[in-house]
Amino acid sequence: MSTWANQDTQVTVNGNITVIDHTPGSEPVGIRAYSGNTVEVLGDVTVNGADCTGVHASGGIIRIDGNVVSSGQGGCTVIIGGAR
């Protein structure tokens, strides 16, 4: 499930983000931050599977207070500005 917010919004996740999907090409994302948005994750970000992303930011700010774990083919825990 992806969570989107309007421009210049702060989103706080009071827990963990876990993205698990082993279906190639589905490319699920836990949460995205664009255009000045701030995403704060107070727990862990865990990604397992094919082409999964836990947190994506482009022009936004990400704060993760917990652990960051990625496993699987093409799995990314955090993407910033399109770079992995």
Which pLDDT score, from 0 to 100, does residue 81 have?
62
CA-to-CA dists, residue 48 to 5, 7, 25, 79, 80, angstroms: 24, 29, 14, 15, 19
Neighbours of 81 (CB within 10 A): 9
pLDDT digits (tens, 9 = 90+) for 54-81: 888 777 888 889 988 888 776 666 666 6
Cα gap 14→64, rounded to integer Å? 11
pLDDT digits (tens, 9 = 90+) for 25-58: 788 888 877 777 888 899 998 888 888 888 887 7
**In this model, does residue 83 exceed pLDDT 60?**
no
Residue 25's region, left for phi above 0, alpha for psi from -120 to 50, else beta, is left
User: Would you list the domain boundaries of the chain?
Assistant: 10-19+27-80
- pTM more than 0.85: no
